[in-house]
Structure 1
């Protein structure tokens, strides 16, 4: 068993893993063992049964999607098992695992989400090309979102998609954008009720009733205090300009804060 300490969403986590490759996977978030000692917020331990559960889940998803069953190594599946356990416990710290591509421009965070294969990563790449050094990738796949009364903070994590695009940073969330393919680029603000089904689908949900209830409470709070947009996007360079400019409207929350 290998042990290390990582820091995610401002919390120190002790990870007990089978494979040393898990420590390499989390290297940008590692903390010195001699400094942390017994001082950590939560602890997770991965066993072989957890790895087998990830294999079963992966195979079930492949069957559901009608694609050939993929065969992943135990080392890779362990990283999934680690994040699943972290997500299970993070809800107790008002923090959710969310499936989306998060980018910051001028220090403000924008979170793009959509059904698989729609082009979240492609769209945030357009943002990096359009804004240059003003744009910084937070996480391209599974960021953590901490929900407080002051708003939502997006945190980078090592679980950042096949392109491994992330940074160990945190930014306040400006807006969430639901991405849709279209022939023309257009954006509009939508109600939380309209966006709720997809946002719920993209949020990690525990099977444990109390944790699930807490997840739903946090999701409701996030939607209530965050501007949500729907973007029709043709994946051409001007899509980034249309999306960014469309999300600069002053929100009701911002109006209240300036009074």
Structure 2
């Protein structure tokens, strides 16, 4: 196989290579039959023995795993990814234009090209979801009675714990343990699954109307307070994937988040990590 097409949320991605590529098990549920390059984001993959020098300027060091650069004409973004063990560059993201990207892989790290979560992390997909006015929210996404409830908060606050409690005591379906794609369609907010799921290893290609977004805080007792639209914007923004080095990207994210916040109910929930947390919130949400 030298071409794989994916549909993630509302966005189509075509992946092409002159070498054989295969799909990892975790992305097979996203494969679709879609070859219209004019309506998709197109990635060309290549494998090289060594990287060629780049004519570009340094923009930002995101962390020890990724550097961001711009072409000399300032029109195209490049990202260099590093292997955390060797500290050496292993992959390169190069924008050709708004819908065409080249991904260059260093052969000693990629004997075979298997399209999996690791490879997809090089694709900068958060930028292209914005074309469909969609964002990635750091959240545990559960489906209960056909509707989505999203638990969001900084890492370590208990999103996965609450999702598991709802699975155990309310027969909820965990769609993604770490992230969801949110979009607004005709004034209704929808959540979509996507392949990125942190350490939870739970991701399902499903979609549901959002009933509520719940911002978690740990506490000795359960107390949920509906928050204002202004405060909802702040909290959603804090947990949304955005390119902090790119003001245009940030502006687009803010516009989408503002639209989402206007069309959902959001709660700040101080809660325990026991069954009573499910009972309390379930009763609270049923009155929406």
TM-score by length of structure 2 reads 0.71
1:45 Cα shift? Answer: 4.2
CA distance in structure 2 between the aligned counterparts of 1:12 and 1:249, rounded to whole angstroms: 37
* Deviation per residue, 1:155-190 (Å, 9 max, x gap): 011112212112211000011100000011121111
CA distance in structure 1 between the aligned counterparts of 2:64 and 2:174, rounded to whole angstroms: 30
Assess if the C-alpha contact under 8 Å between 2:178 and 2:196 holds in 1: yes
Matches within 5 A, 1:52-201: 57-59=62-64, 71=85, 77-82=118-123, 85-132=124-171, 135-201=172-238
CA distance in structure 1 between the aligned counterparts of 2:204 and 2:273, rounded to whole angstroms: 24
Assess if the C-alpha contact under 8 Å between 2:15 and 2:44 holds in 1: yes
CA distance in structure 2 between the aligned counterparts of 1:236 and 1:140, rounded to whole angstroms: 18
1:194 Cα shift? Answer: 2.5
Moved more, 196-205 or 18-27: 18-27
Q: Structure 1 residues 81, 26: CA separation in 2 closer, same or farther (over 3 Å shift)? A: same
SS at match of 1:235: coil
CA distance in structure 2 between the aligned counterparts of 1:14 and 1:248, rounded to whole angstroms: 41
RMSD over equivalenced CA pairs, Å: 2.9
Assess if the C-alpha contact under 8 Å between 2:11 and 2:129 holds in 1: no
Q: How many residue pairs are counted as aligned between the two chains?
A: 231
1:71 Cα shift? Answer: 3.9
| Higher helix content, 1 or 2 | 1
Q: Which has the larger radius of gyration?
A: 2
Assess if the C-alpha contact under 8 Å between 1:22 and 1:79 holds in 2: no
Assess if the C-alpha contact under 8 Å between 2:65 and 2:84 holds in 1: no
Assess if the C-alpha contact under 8 Å between 1:175 and 1:226 holds in 2: yes
Q: Structure 1 residues 242, 139: CA separation in 2 closer, same or farther (over 3 Å shift)? A: same
Q: What residue number does 1:3 align with?
A: 3
Q: Structure 1 residues 115, 21: CA separation in 2 closer, same or farther (over 3 Å shift)? A: farther
RCO comparison, higher one (Cα < 8 Å, 6+): 1
Q: Structure 1 residues 223, 156: CA separation in 2 closer, same or farther (over 3 Å shift)? A: same
| Higher strand content, 1 or 2 | 2
CA distance in structure 1 between the aligned counterparts of 2:183 and 2:155, rounded to whole angstroms: 23
Q: Structure 1 residues 136, 4: CA separation in 2 closer, same or farther (over 3 Å shift)? A: same
Q: What residue number does 1:43 align with?
A: 42
CA distance in structure 1 between the aligned counterparts of 2:63 and 2:160, rounded to whole angstroms: 22
TM-score by length of structure 1 reads 0.78
Gaps of 5+ in 2: 52-57, 67-82, 91-108, 111-116
